[in-house]
A and B are shown apart, each in its own frame.
Chain A
Amino acid sequence: DTEVTQTPKHLVMGMTNKKSLKCEQHMGHRAMYWYKQKAKKPPELMFVYSYEKLSINESVPSRFSPECPNSSLLNLHLHALQPEDSALYLCASAPGVGLSEQYFGPGTRLTVT
């Protein structure tokens, strides 16, 4: 299984809502990532988990809260988002031992109203 899955595919939420994005991989990878991608832009790194510990937080606002319950799962909890947070949120995984390619999920299209 060489797939990274993400749910939901689309999400519309109000600025007072709380929601979560989910990401799962069964490749035995030990590094997992959250990226934010605006239209016509490259992905921007948000968070990196390495061996289930947060290793990189790229100064992301606290309204985004990552969680890595186990080595296969990665969540992104959303609370009190702003309309400018509307974007494609991509999850990726990598073996986690040194530099390697990352495998991306299909993304969640988030719209904040």
Chain B
Amino acid sequence: AQSVTQPDIHITVSEGASLELRCNYSYGATPYLFWYVQSPGQGLQLLLKYFSGDTLVQGIKGFEAEFKRSQSSFNLRKPSVHWSDAAEYFCAVGVNNNDMRFGAGTRLTVKP
């Protein structure tokens, strides 16, 4: 069955430090992969997506992600974290038409 795993429940980084959030997927075919961010009590905002082509994907707010088929991973990165990046981050895989499965989420705390 299709699934998404985010191994890290909570990550704390200092402001200005680099960030990498991990995501592993299980899916038979080429997956459609997404990263969303959610601030407390808010909806989800799409950061970036991968459908095909270049495996390094650029998103909004300075985020990027790299699709690695050999590792079944789609990790999210940012070179320098800002205090406003503190939020919950969800990796998701698109399965079949009109369906999406989310990982459990990683909560990011940013230290001053």
**A contact set with B: CB distance below 8 Å:** 4, 6, 31, 33, 40-43, 45, 48, 50, 55-56, 88, 90, 92, 94, 96, 98-107, 109
Q: Which residues of A contact B97 (CB under 8 A)?
A: 50, 98-99
* Chain A at the B interface: SS class: strand
Q: Which residues of A contact B36 (CB under 8 A)?
A: 104
Docked pose: A92 CA to B51 CA in angstroms:
19
Q: How far is the CB of B32 from chain A (nearest CB, A)?
A: 5
How many A-B contacts if CB must be within 8 Å? 57
Docked pose: A100 CA to B100 CA in angstroms:
9
**B contact set with A: CB distance below 8 Å:** 32, 34, 36, 41-46, 49, 51, 90, 94, 96-100, 102-105, 107
Docked pose: A45 CA to B7 CA in angstroms:
22
Q: Which residues of A contact B105 (CB under 8 A)?
A: 40-42
Instruction: Given contacts A45-B99, A99-B32, A100-B32, list 19 more A-B pairs with CB under 8 A.
Output: A4-B43, A6-B43, A42-B90, A42-B103, A42-B104, A42-B105, A43-B44, A45-B100, A48-B98, A48-B99, A55-B98, A90-B43, A94-B98, A101-B34, A101-B46, A104-B43, A106-B42, A107-B42, A109-B41
